[in-house]
Homo-oligomer: A and B are copies of this chain.
Amino acid sequence: MSLTVVGSIAYDAVTTPFGERERMLGGAATHFALAASFFDEVRVIGPVGEDFDAESWEILGTRGIATDDVERVAGGKTFFWKGEYSTNLNSRETHITDLNVFEHFEPKLSDAARACDVLFLANIQPDLQRGVREQCASARFVAMDSMDLWITIARPSLIETIRSVDCLILNDEELELLTEMPNFVSAAREVLTWGPSAVIAKQGKYGAALFTRDGYFALPAFPLEDVIDPTGAGDTFAGGFVGYIAAHPEHPIDHDLLVRAMVYGTALASFNVEAFGTERVAELSPEEITGRVGELQRMTTFAHEPITLRS
């Protein structure tokens, strides 16, 4: 089976309290693909410029990621983002956003990309997401991300796109903004009435929560003393989550499967933030991932022993 992702491929300049990188491979599709490639064959759709170098092609090809749908725009420059994180990493300031080849990006899908079993629409303009979604008509699971910008300036299109997918993965505050609900619980349940059968509220360093029509599951983030660079954590989570589903083509996409997918997404995201950009996930081993999943289980499991309460 195969997994297609459409989204940004970028060069990032990032400063955190723990160091900086002048120019490193980044972008939502990149982070997603690296994480998802542990689970299934991944095909990336997104534009790069003539400046996209051999080292970047090599990283983007990790574990057999198919890059032949990556569009190299003649005379163009790769999307560039420069940002700086606050001391506690709770906020970040964008210094530069050069859209470059991303400004006029129109996703072109090969037959192989269109024939995907599972599709992830990373954060791009919602009309473009919907166009890709419609081309991948046979996908058995479609998930998407978005951001506050599109909620604000392209809300009707975004909602139409959300109606067409199986799963929305969004930051909890963006869910509140999108639905105008006062908390992420009511916000996520509202989105379930629009069409998607699953909604994930990402909560940054606190973890993530899954809402389906059959239930609720929440998983705290893996506790890390040294978070080096949070860039791409959400896309890496999505890569682990969607990748896990892609790896189980025979399994119905029910609450139980989505729960287990959440755990792999959480594990992958925790590695991503341990180093700058793709540095940690590109070097990761399967054993490290399964080890961390086991640790997450130990850190969240409790016995429910009967107790007589006073009345």
A interface list, Cβ under 8 A from B: 17, 37-40, 63-64, 87-89, 176, 182-186, 189, 203, 205-207, 209, 215-220, 223-227, 244, 247, 256, 259-260, 262-264, 285-286, 289-290, 293-294, 297-311
Inter-chain contact A304/B297, CB cutoff 8 Å: yes
Inter-chain contact B88/A299, CB cutoff 8 Å: no
A66 nearest CB across to chain B (Å): 13
A100 nearest CB across to chain B (Å): 32
* With A63-B311, A185-B224 as contacts: A304 and B300 at CB distance below 8 Å: no
* With A39-B310, A285-B311, A302-B259 as contacts: A219 and B220 at CB distance below 8 Å: yes
Inter-chain contact B216/A299, CB cutoff 8 Å: yes
Q: List 25 A-B contacts (CB under 8 A).
A: A17-B182, A38-B309, A39-B307, A39-B310, A87-B182, A88-B182, A89-B183, A183-B225, A183-B227, A186-B226, A203-B206, A207-B218, A209-B223, A216-B223, A217-B300, A217-B302, A219-B302, A247-B307, A260-B303, A260-B305, A286-B308, A286-B311, A297-B302, A300-B300, A301-B301
